[in-house]
């Protein structure tokens, strides 16, 4: 019998039945995997604190503390046992989300649990025998815009877990969309061939439309200038691995903040953590849009706009650079040229950055990070890309088979 954790558990003193006549404590022993509690067995034992190394996120111990209240009910003496930071995910249970569409879907506890699964996926990836957990499942990748890392990492993730892949690299040109087929009709067709669809589209909001149509899970792999939630997940996962914490960090978001779906999704996720400060550094023509600023303010997140990358880099734990996206400017090439090359991460930026800080980039890069930065240990962007594999393995596993 599986049992989800709540804000309190109970140790019960039975006055009859399996326990001795003296009032003793009958406690439930729990085992935890992926920060979830499972009911193991019922037996008699002394009332005591319970501890397990997998109860807390980051594999720390969870201590159960008894509260003072005693309740009598039907001959059972129950002591309320309070759980500090209770996990809320049970092994074998269905994932809370049907689709992954936007960063706002995730709360802090869910993020921590996904990161725990991603760490397990890393161990699987390093095991040459791999896994067959998704054997018999088929993933369709439907990409209307170019992609290297996102598409290949999803396909690699599926195959490393034993699944199969159907892929179309340029659906905008080489699918029936070129004949005028609607997105909804395409989704209804493709879902008949697969168990999950990973989609990148050139229109903001396309992923929501697909999810509203499909009867199988949809993962948003980027929808125009809208969002890129799986990139944001891997970004936060990378920050935690590189910096060692997510609370109390300072992050500089640099480059094309108006069109960059990655920085928009990342801002939403950073707002889940405490005492975070975000600096926006961008040319005037691609400043962060007001909806993100308003959201951060509503969540109590401090943010500041700056025109000085050197000054910001000296303060930050993370410098998150992005490219100026020419494809979003249409015919206004003059505005693109005005924005391009204004903020470049080079040796001068590295010189002022703290030793523990890192440079991140969702890639691909053009000239906004010079190649000599690559050899610096603080250049985390290729490690960041690798982490995308583990996050996407975790999401495929969770959406298809659950916790």
Mean pLDDT of 194-223: 95
Residue 168 has pLDDT above 90, yes or no: no
171 vs 89, higher pLDDT: 89
Rounded CA separation 141/262 (Å) = 19
What values do phi and psi take at 129, rounded to 5? -75, -15
User: What pLDDT, on the 0 to 100 scale, is given for residue 60?
Assistant: 34
Q: Residue range 254-269: average pLDDT?
A: 91
Q: Whose CA is closest to 85, among 103, 104, 105, 58?
A: 58
For residue 276, the model assigns a pLDDT of 98
Per the listing, tokens 């707002």 go with: 271
Backbone angles phi, psi at 280, to 5 degrees: -105, 120
Close Cβ partners of 98 (under 8 Å, ≥ 6 residues apart):
211, 217, 399
CA pair distance 74, 79, nearest whole angstrom? 14
Q: Which CATH architecture is the domain 230-382 placed in?
A: 3-Layer(aba) Sandwich (3.40)
Q: Answer yes or no: 150 catalytic.
A: yes
E strand spans, 217-332: 218-223, 250-254, 277-281, 302-306, 318-321
User: Which residue in the list 11, 90, 141, 150 is annotated as catalytic?
Assistant: 150
Topology agreement, domain 124-227 and domain 230-382? yes
326 is catalytic: no
Among residues 151, 209, 228, 250, the one annotated as catalytic is: 228
Examine the residue annotation and report whether 200 is marked as an active-site residue of this protein. yes
CATH topology of domain 124-227: Rossmann fold (3.40.50)
Residue 16 confidence class, pLDDT cut points 50, 70, 90: very low
DSSP E strand boundaries for 102-215: 138-143, 164-168, 196-201
**How high is the pLDDT of residue 177?**
58
Q: Dihedral sign, CA of 295, 273, 249, 377?
A: negative
Residues 187/219, Cβ–Cβ less than 8 Å: no
Over residues 258-277, the mean pLDDT reads 93
Question: Which residue ranges make up each domain of the chain?
Answer: 124-227, 230-382
Evaluate whether 316 touches 248 at the Cβ level (below 8 Å).
no
Average pLDDT over all residues of the chain: 80
Cα–Cα nearest to 198, from 98, 99, 91, 83: 99
- Among the options 28, 151, 200, 342, which is catalytic? 200
CB atoms within 10 A of CB 48: 11
CA–CA distance, 112 with 85 (Å, rounded to integer): 12
Where in 17-99 does DSSP place strands (E)?
A: 25-32, 37-45, 64-73, 76-83
Residue 340 bears catalytic tag? no
Confidence of residue 342 (pLDDT cuts 50, 70, 90): confident
Band the pLDDT of 178: cuts 50, 70, 90. low
The pLDDT of residue 218: 98
Cα(35)–Cα(350) distance, integer angstroms: 38
Q: Give the pLDDT band (50/70/90) at residue 353.
A: very high
pLDDT value, residue 131 = 92
Is residue 209 annotated as part of the catalytic site, yes or no?
no
The single residue listed with the structure tokens 């002591």 is 79
Among 149, 159, 208, 386, which one carries the catalytic annotation? Answer: 149
Chain segment 225-235, per-residue pLDDT in tens:
889 999 999 99
């Amino acid at each position: 019998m599986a049992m989800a954790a709540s804000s309190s558990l109970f140790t019960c003193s039975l006055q009859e039945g399996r326990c001795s006549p003296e009032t003793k404590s009958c406690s439930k022993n729990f085992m935890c995997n992926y920060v979830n509690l499972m009911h193991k067995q019922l037996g008699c034992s002394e009332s005591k604190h319970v501890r397990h190394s997998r109860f807390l996120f980051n594999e720390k111990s969870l201590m159960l503390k008894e509260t003072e209240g005693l309740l009598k009910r039907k001959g059972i003496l129950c002591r309320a046992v309070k759980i500090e930071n209770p996990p809320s995910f049970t092994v074998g249970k269905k994932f809370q989300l049907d689709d992954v569409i936007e960063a706002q879907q995730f709360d802090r506890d869910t993020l921590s649990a996904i990161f725990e699964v991603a760490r397990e996926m890393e161990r699987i990836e390093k095991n040459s025998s791999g896994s067959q957990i998704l054997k018999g499942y088929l993933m369709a990748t439907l990409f209307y815009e170019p992609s290297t890392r996102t598409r290949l990492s999803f396909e690699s993730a599926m195959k490393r877990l034993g699944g199969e892949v159907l892929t179309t690299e340029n659906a905008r040109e080489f699918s029936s969309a070129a004949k005028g087929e609607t997105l909804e009709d395409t989704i209804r067709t493709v879902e008949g061939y697969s168990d999950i669809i990973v989609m990148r589209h050139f229109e903001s909001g396309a992923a929501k439309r697909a999810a509203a149509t499909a009867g199988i899970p949809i993962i948003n792999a980027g929808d125009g200038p809208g969002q890129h939630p799986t990139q944001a997940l891997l970004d936060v996962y990378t920050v935690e691995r590189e910096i060692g914490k997510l609370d109390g960090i300072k992050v500089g978001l640099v480059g094309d903040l108006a069109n960059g779906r990655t920085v928009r999704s990342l801002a939403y996720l950073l707002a889940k953590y405490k005492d975070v400060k975000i600096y926006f550094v961008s040319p005037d023509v691609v400043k962060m849009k007001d909806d993100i600023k308003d959201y951060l303010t509503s969540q109590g997140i401090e943010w500041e706009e700056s025109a000085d990358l050197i000054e910001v880099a000296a303060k930050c734990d993370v410098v998150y650079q992005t490219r100026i996206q020419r494809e979003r400017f249409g015919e206004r090439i003059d505005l693109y040229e005005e924005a391009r090359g204004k903020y470049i991460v080079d040796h001068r930026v590295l010189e002022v950055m703290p030793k523990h800080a890192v440079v991140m980039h969702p890639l691909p890069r053009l000239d906004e990070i010079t190649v000599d930065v690559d050899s610096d240990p603080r250049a985390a962007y290729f490690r960041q890309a690798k982490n995308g594999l583990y996050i996407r393995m975790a999401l495929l596993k969770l959406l298809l088979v659950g916790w």
